[in-house]
Structures are given as structure tokens and as C-alpha cells.
Structure 1
């Protein structure tokens, strides 16, 4: 999986985006599926959003936007990752949504997912939030 992520994200090999297409469990359909999106600078450099690519065959709701950060998570130490400030904003109403499943490609410290959840709660979301990461 390390080699897969290096090829897909590090080298920008978008052809790998559908490697897991059709393999998602059926219970996902009961959730509002919210991808953890890339910040604009990463999107510009890479030319695609890795999480949107990996989960492209699912009905995604892009409720979050990510602001620029000082450097990518992959270039930070564990301590630096844990100190990363909030960078998510909710860009669509969350009223009426009962449960959200945050989708991400890689879980390391969980800081990104906790920030995403905190942003949703700050925007008024009162339901259940869980996460699914392809790699941990």
C-alpha cells in the first residue's frame, strides 16, 4: 500500500484511482459520504484530488473545503501533525443530515479527521460522525 500511495499521490498516477472501485461495502449507502478533500495548492500541483478519485464511484457530498496549510501532512513529524491548526470549513448546509461517514485515503494520527468533524459540529451538525480510511 505504501508503494500504491507513492505512485498514486506522490507521482500523480491518476490511472490508479479506480483500483478499489466497486469494492465498497453495501452499508455505506446508509451514510452521507463526505470526502476529506485536498487543499487548493495540492490539487493544483497534483492535478486531481486523491480522495475524490479513490471514492469516485460512490455518491459523495462535498460538505468540506480545506484551506492552505504550511506544508503537507506527509512532510510533518507526528508531533507537527498533532499541532496542525484547523483548516476545514463547511461549505454546504448540514441540516437534515443524520449521519456522516468521512472518507479519507490514509489515516496516520487522525488529526485531519478530527478537524473535519470539529468543523461539521461547529457548523451545527448534531448527528453521528464516523470515518473510513482506505489505509491505516
Structure 2
């Protein structure tokens, strides 16, 4: 993969495998907007950030938020101390509607908010609901690097 050759590899951890049950969960939660499901895995998601570590969620773009009425990633991880440093800009269509090749070709859609101060932070852990190709997480990591973050970036998702 060309993008893997030009960007540092992300150390990633996921709690669950993307199988039939998890596909049904994601469809019900995100596709049908069943927000109450956000609490299904709270007891499983135990990410206590170490000192000088920040948890940064991969939030939805505004049009997806408006359509659903909630942000699925914020719902899953709301019980954690989050820093919403990233802004997701509109894309031509959702990642879920793309095949692997199209996902990997998706252009950068993240920027870092202008008021973020990286002083004293040496580790950012990106949080997402579902890891498929990793393209979204790699774009988020690149946005942080472009904004001047020089520490470690890792990622975590509920499902991979």
C-alpha cells in the first residue's frame, strides 16, 4: 500500500472482530440510529489514559451528525476524558458506502482545531468505532502531525 509506505504505521488495538454480530450492531447503531446501543460496551471500554496521554475521538462530519442526531464515536466513548481536537470535513460519501480501493483513495478530510496546545502531551490515542482499512485513522494521525504534534500516536476501535 502506497499510503502505508509514506506514513508511520499506527499501533492499533480493537476489542471485537468485525463478524456477523458486530455488523448487525453497527447497522442498528449507526445505520438505523439506535443511540441507546451506545451503552452496550461501556463496561468493556476501559481506557484510562496515562499521564501526558490524550484520547482523541474520530468524530463525524456535520452532515452525518445532523442526519443521525448523534455522533456514534462520541456515544461509545463519552464516559472517557476526551479531547475533541479534530474536525472532520465533508466528503463525497460515507466510508461505509465505499469498497476497499475507494476507501484507500479517500482524500484527507481532517484538520486540527486552531486552539489545540500540544505542550506536555507525548501520546495521542485516536478512538473510532470501526476499523476497516485504517484510512480514517491514518488521515487523523497525519492531521495531528501536520499541526505540529511530534509524540506517539496510537489507535483504538471497538471493532476491527
TM-score range, shorter chain: over 0.9
Number of corresponding residues: 135
- Structure 1: 5+ residue stretches without partners: none
Q: For 2:59, which of 23, 28, 37 is the aligned residue? A: 37
Bigger RCO of structures 1 and 2 (CA < 8 A, at least 6 apart): 2
Partner of 1:11: 32
RMSD: 1.0
- How far apart are the structure 1 equivalents of 2:67 and 2:129? 18
Q: CA deviation at 1:85?
A: 0.3
Deviations 1:51-76 (A, max 9, x none): 00000100000000100000000001
- How far apart are the structure 1 equivalents of 2:126 and 2:74? 12
| TM-score, with length taken from structure 2 | 0.82
- Structure 2: 5+ residue stretches without partners: 1-21
CA contact (8 A) 1:22 1:57 kept: no
Aligned structure 1 segments of 4 or more residues deviating by more than 4 angstroms? none
Partner of 2:156: 132
Q: CA deviation at 1:39?
A: 0.5
Partner of 1:68: 90
Partner of 2:140: 116
Q: For 1:89, which of 92, 107, 111 is the aligned residue? A: 111
Deviations 1:36-62 (A, max 9, x none): 000011000010000000001000000
| TM-score, with length taken from structure 1 | 0.95
Q: CA deviation at 1:93?
A: 1.5
- How far apart are the structure 1 equivalents of 2:43 and 2:132? 25
- How far apart are the structure 2 equivalents of 1:106 and 1:24? 14
